[in-house]
């Protein structure tokens, strides 16, 4: 069955796409620095740009993205049959993220959340398996002996993400390739115009944004507490 393209939501998607891309880059820089002094650049509906130094902007943009996700029709069938807390796999996620220079534990966790909702036994109708929904070709490439073993699945999925990031040097495009395949990305010279793939990329980036916003909030709270003391 051919993929459906996004039309009604394309303008909203493009606007939030740019803002989110800037925000994710900002967050990587902000963590470990004085985030309260960083400047966020956003694209307005009328095509003009504006800046904001308030962290409240992050929460508002996250809410806008969540609302957008609710508007876009979902074409991907969730592979998860039950929800498992991410704490069960936190050690694997952290240790695996430390093995790669170009992906972080937050990226890995966001992909797992979007792919399987932390269901280690997830199996999609297309044959994707485990926490990171690995296709048979990926399983073969990385020589997994048990695709449903959380550690093996996370390590192989993360290695694939790292490979794609090395190939494209762009997180959104790498995520699109993880979802739709390298052939589709090559055909459209970027993120394919598939509603499933665009929705997938937004959801993963939104998860990353949420995770890093929590870190910034925690850091800000610690700074405020330190000043108060």
Query: For the chain, how many helices (H) and strands (E)?
Result: 9, 2
Cα–Cα distance measured from residue 200 to residue 133, given in angstroms and rounded to the nearest whole number? 13
> Active-site residue among 115, 160, 196, 207?
115
Q: Please say whether the beta carbons of 62 and 7 come within 8 A.
A: no
Count CB neighbours of 107 within 10 A. Answer: 26
Distances (CA, A) of 178 to 47, 64, 165: 31, 25, 10
Distances (CA, A) of 174 to 37, 107, 146, 200: 30, 11, 25, 12
Q: Please say whether the beta carbons of 193 and 187 come within 8 A.
A: no
115 is catalytic: yes
Return the half-sphere exposure (C-beta side, CA atoms, 13 A cut-off) of residue 145.
0
User: Active-site residues: which are they?
Assistant: 115
């Amino acid at each position: 069955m051919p993929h459906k393209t996004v039309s009604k939501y394309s303008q909203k998607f493009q606007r939030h796409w740019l803002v989110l891309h800037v925000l994710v880059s900002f967050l990587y820089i902000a963590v470990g620095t004085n985030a309260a002094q960083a400047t966020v650049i956003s694209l307005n509906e009328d095509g003009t740009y504006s800046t904001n130094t308030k962290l409240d902007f992050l929460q508002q943009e996250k809410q806008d993205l969540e609302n957008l996700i609710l508007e876009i029709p979902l074409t991907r069938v969730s592979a998860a049959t039950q929800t498992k807390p991410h704490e069960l796999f936190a050690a694997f996620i952290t240790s695996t993220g430390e093995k790669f220079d170009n992906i972080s534990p937050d990226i890995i966790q966001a992909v797992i959340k979007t792919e399987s909702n932390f269901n280690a036994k997830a199996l999609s109708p297309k044959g994707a398996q485990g926490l990171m929904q690995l296709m048979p070709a990926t399983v073969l490439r990385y020589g997994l002996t048990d695709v449903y073993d959380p550690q093996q699945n996370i390590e192989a999925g993360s290695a694939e993400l790292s490979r794609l990031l090395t190939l494209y040097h762009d997180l959104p495009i790498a995520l699109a390739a993880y979802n739709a395949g390298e052939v589709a990305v090559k055909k459209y010279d970027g993120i394919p115009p598939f509603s499933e793939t665009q929705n997938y990329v937004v959801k993963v980036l939104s998860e990353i944004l949420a995770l890093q916003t929590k870190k910034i909030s925690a850091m800000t709270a610690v700074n405020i507490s330190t000043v108060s003391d």
